[in-house]
Chain A
Amino acid sequence: CILHCFLSLLVFGRAIHAIARISDEFSFDPIEKGLALRSVNSSRSAYAYVFFSSMFFQHYCWTAVSQPCQKEKQLSLPCKLIIKSVLPVFRCVNVLERNVEKCSIYTNINDHHVTFQLLCKYGVVKTYNLTCQECDPLQAVFAKHMCPNILKVHSRLLADIMIHFPTSQEEVTLSVTPMKVCFKSYTEEDTDFSKTMLTEIQLNPDEFDYFQVGVDSEVTFCLKELRGLLAFSEATSVPVSIHFDISGKPIAFSIEDMVLEASFILATLSDVEKETASQQPPDFSQRQERKPPWDGSAPNSKPAKPVSLLAKQEIKSIPRVMMREVTGMEGTAMTEAEGHAMLGGEAREHCKDFKVAKASEIINLQILHHVVSYFYKHCIFQFHSLFFGAVSCKEQDAISHTFHSLATASDTEEDFGNMQSSQV
């Protein structure tokens, strides 16, 4: 039984709301040092990680529970919670702090319960008993320090920038050169300009607390998923760091201070044709040719088609990558997986927008290309086929080639049929 109490309800509530924008469920993982919350969206294009150290809480008590069947002592026992059940606890986060005197969280892993208890004014006690499921959450591996472009800015500034975009704006392009920074509405070749209002914000590098641009780049990411983090970081008043590279590589928005840290890693649209070119600064004056990873010219080019293929696939469990530090390939060996996958096959049900579906492929590869190498070691080929459709399981090429495979993979039934037969 683990007991936690809150230091700042507003911050915690905003964190939950931020995670809510990523996915319908998240993993709740209390460890000795603190509480980790993680979430991945179903199309793998967004990953959220929020860690509250034990010092964030007024009182933090954690007991290790060891399971006899594990080879090593389980240092944590994460469980999966549905966002919809947790959000009501933190509804009206802004007034929460005024009315709530104390909030406690208890977890009972054996019972599969997480309890939130709010002690409110006038002796009112609200208790929320939530069922949770065991899970093996996916951790994104992202070498932030290897990113050539780093911007650091107060969250107020980011919010002031994003407010110019309509709330319905899905994707935003961030374009940087050493001389200027520009956020603009995402457009592509077939954008109907006569119907779309476009917004562009130009900033001087001076406005940033820290500004490093190693590579001129233009990255496009999903703004909707970010808005939650912006509200969260405003509550914490911790500056936001943005780490990114060229298009196609993920972009990370993170905040860190003594008692908490958070990272939101979002996929960016890849400029597939330029992938093979050496890292030259892309020429912004010409329209970039963007070929969707899925074959856009197929007669039925709606994303619905690939979705159903993925959905039909058997969902294999995704082994947990136990990487405590985000330092690339290092980390302890994986445990053999059991149980259910956290990530469902409803892949793109709520990524109705085709553009977002295109973005989705990229983070898969980023998260998984480190993970995939482990899989090769363990020969879990069916995992490979789950995400790459028709990619041959015999291919053990370098990662850059998997980009190509993805770009040319066809979604026809025949390929799918081949994959099925070759599954272990």
Chain B
Amino acid sequence: MRFRAKIVDLACLNHFSRVINTIAKLAKTCALRLTVSKLYFILSDKVANGGVSMWCELCQGNFFDEFQMEGVAAEHNEIYLELVPENLSRALKTAQNAKAVKIKLTNKHCPCLRVAVELPSLSSSSRMVTHDIPVGVIPRRLWNDFREPSVPDFDVSIYLPVLKTMKSVLERMKNLSNSIVIEANSSGEMNLKIETDLVSVTTHFKDLGNPPWASEDGCQSSAQSRDLESMAEARIDIKKLLQLLAGQQVNPTKALCNIVSKRIVHFILLHEDVSLQYFIPALA
């Protein structure tokens, strides 16, 4: 099992750091899956996470100048590691003006991702900062836990409002209630509702637009035949939704959510070279 990668371009480095920062805000520990062409940050839906799951996919070619990996075996040319993304975020934080950043999988005292940052210095030779981030190697028998989630059979799919606006609305709502109801219809309308003994607050969004999903099979037609005005809703934990929005440092190119009434809300945030999917289950 070998892994070695290098980033030389500062813009790529900053972009990669931002992705890592986002992941760090969403998960305390997660799995990192490495394949020849892609990196995946995966959080599987365990009870410990509150049923939340995450799937983040990056094309390595968009970030790394060099990328070599050798998986556990020839027919399974992939590596699955468990790590604390905050550590990686921290290691990259002070590499803002680095000449180069190399990431390597090593095993000195224990398996580690070694992040070596070459920084410019006043002297002839560069300053080298090395961070050894401990990782756990996830054995092949557990790889099934980290399969790509399929898009659920949703009732409504709708584009999200401007994330900044949504975030500030939720920030205020979180002080009043722990859970929030997201409801939306296929006419581009979305409501965020909270209800307590004393007060209920609803924020209405209009003209959001509904993404066109190609009907691959019969399942999707249920969404199409549905009454355009009728709302699909789910009650979810407000803090988890805020975590997702707070972690967004850059506005995504596309942001949408798929609501399965009373079951789950599936968020998809697409940037140029990163896609992030986040599942928040509905509360009982």
Contacts and interface: CB of A to CB of B under 8 A. Distances in A.
A195 B86 CA distance: 13
Interface stretch (B118-126, B225-233, B272-280): B118-126
Interface in B103-152: 108-110, 112, 121-125, 127-134, 136
A197 to B, nearest CB: 5
A193 B94 CA distance: 22
B121 A164 contact: no
Nearest to A187: B109
Interface string B78-115: 00000010010011001000000000000011101000
Interface residues of B, number: 23
B151 to A, nearest CB: 36
A206 B123 contact: yes
Given A193-B110, A203-B121, A164 B128 contact: no
Given A198-B132, A199-B129, A206 B110 contact: no
A204 B121 contact: yes
Nearest to B125: A204
Contacts of B133: 197
A163 B94 contact: yes
B90 A200 contact: no
A385 B131 CA distance: 44
A178 interface: no
A197 B90 contact: yes
A55 interface: no
Interface in A174-214: 193-204, 206-207
Most central of B91, B112, B131 by chain A CB within 10 Å: B131
Contact of B90 (A166, A195, A196, A202): A166
A202 B127 contact: yes
Contacts of B109: 193-194
Contacts, number: 59
Which of B91, B121, B124 lies at the interface centre, i.e. has the most chain A CB atoms within 10 A of its CB?
B121
A204 B120 CA distance: 12
Contact of B127 (A194, A195, A197, A201): A201
Nearest to A201: B129
Contact of B131 (A199, A202, A203): A199
A194 B129 contact: no
B134 A164 contact: no
Given A204-B123, A206-B123, A197 B87 contact: yes
B128 A201 contact: yes
B131 A206 contact: no
A194 B134 contact: yes
Interface in A42-80: none
B128 A207 contact: no
B121 A207 contact: yes
A166 B110 CA distance: 21
Interface of B (DSSP majority class): mixed
A202 B116 CA distance: 11
B127 A207 contact: yes
B129 A200 contact: yes
A361 to B, nearest CB: 28
A125 B16 CA distance: 50
Nearest to A198: B132
A164 B131 CA distance: 9
A160 to B, nearest CB: 8
A197 B88 CA distance: 9
A206 B124 contact: yes
Contacts of B123: 203-204, 206-207
Contacts of B94: 163-164
A164 B129 contact: yes
A356 to B, nearest CB: 22
Contacts of A193: 108-110, 112, 134
Given A204-B124, A207-B121, A207-B123, A197 B110 contact: no
B174 to A, nearest CB: 27
Contacts of A196: 134
Nearest to A208: B123
Contacts of A201: 127-130
A256 B124 CA distance: 28
Contacts of A206: 122-125
Interface in B156-182: none
Contacts of B128: 201-202
Interface in A226-258: none
B199 to A, nearest CB: 37
Contacts of A195: 134
A203 B109 CA distance: 24
A128 B54 CA distance: 54
A223 to B, nearest CB: 15
Contacts of A207: 121-123, 127
Contacts of A166: 90
Contacts of B90: 166, 197
Q: Which 10 interchain pairs have the tightest Cβ spacing?
A: A206-B123, A193-B109, A198-B132, A202-B128, A194-B110, A204-B123, A204-B125, A200-B130, A197-B87, A207-B123
13 contacts: A164-B94, A164-B131, A193-B134, A197-B87, A198-B132, A200-B129, A200-B131, A201-B129, A201-B130, A203-B127, A204-B121, A206-B125, A207-B121
Interface of A: 163-164, 166, 193-204, 206-207
